Amino acid sequence: QPDLVERLISVDISPAITTPVSEFSAYISAMKSVKIPDGLSRSAARQMADDQLRSVVQHPQVRQFLLTNLVEVEGRCVWRVNLEAISHHLSDIMNFPVFHKSYPGPALFLGGSNSPYISSQDYPEIQRLFPKADVQYIEGAGHIVHQDKFEEFITAVVKFLALP
C-alpha cells in the first residue's frame, strides 16, 4: 500500500539477496556456542560472552550490538533472540521478497561506504522498485551506519525528510 507511505528510507540494505555477503550465519553460530556459568553478574557474563565472540565477531561495535541481546533469566544468561529459529530461517530473512509493483514515492537508500549491503549491482533493482530512489553512502561507516557515523546519518536523514 504505497499510498500509506509518504517517503521511504532504507538503511544499508537493498532489494537483493544478501546471504552471500553476510557474516550473520557465523555470528549466530558463535552466539550459540557461548558458554556462561550460572550465577555470574550480568556485567561479568557480558564480558565473558564478549571474549568468546571476539574471534568471530571482530568489530567491537557489532559485538556490543549482539551483546544487547544477552539477558538474565532466573539467574542464567540467555540470548533474548531465538537463535535456533534465526539460523534455520536465515536465508528467508536475508532474501528480499519479490515485488512486481514499484513504490512511486521518494526513497533514500543510505549505506555505509565500508559495507557490502548496497552495491552498484543492486542499482537496477533499486531503480525498478523505487524509481525515485536516491542512493547515498556515508564515508567510513559500516553496516551499523547510525552507530558508526551518527552525525552524518542524522544529517542525511533530516535532509531527505525535509525535501519537498
Integer CA distances (angstroms), 157 to 63, 112, 126, 138, 150, in order: 25, 14, 18, 11, 11
Can you tell me the distance from the alpha carbon of 35 to that of 38, in angstroms, rounded to the nearest whole number?
10
The three grid cell numbers given for residue 19, joined into one nine-digit string:
546471504
For the record, the C-alpha cell of 20 comes out as 552471500
Sign of the Cα torsion 164, 13, 32, 40 reads negative
Q: Is residue 36's pLDDT more than 70?
A: yes
Q: Which fold has domain 2-16+97-162?
A: Rossmann fold (3.40.50)
**What tens digit of pLDDT does each residue of 79-131 get?**
999 999 999 998 888 888 888 899 999 999 999 999 999 999 999 999 999 99
Q: How far apart are the first and last CA of the chain?
A: 21
pLDDT confidence of residue 124: 95
* Each residue's pLDDT tens digit, 65-82: 999 999 999 889 999 999
* Annotated domain spans of the chain: 2-16+97-162, 21-91
Question: Who has greater pLDDT, 117 or 53?
Answer: 53
Question: How high is the mean pLDDT of the chain?
Answer: 93
Cβ–Cβ < 8 Å for 21, 117: yes
Cell (9 digits) for 41: 553478574
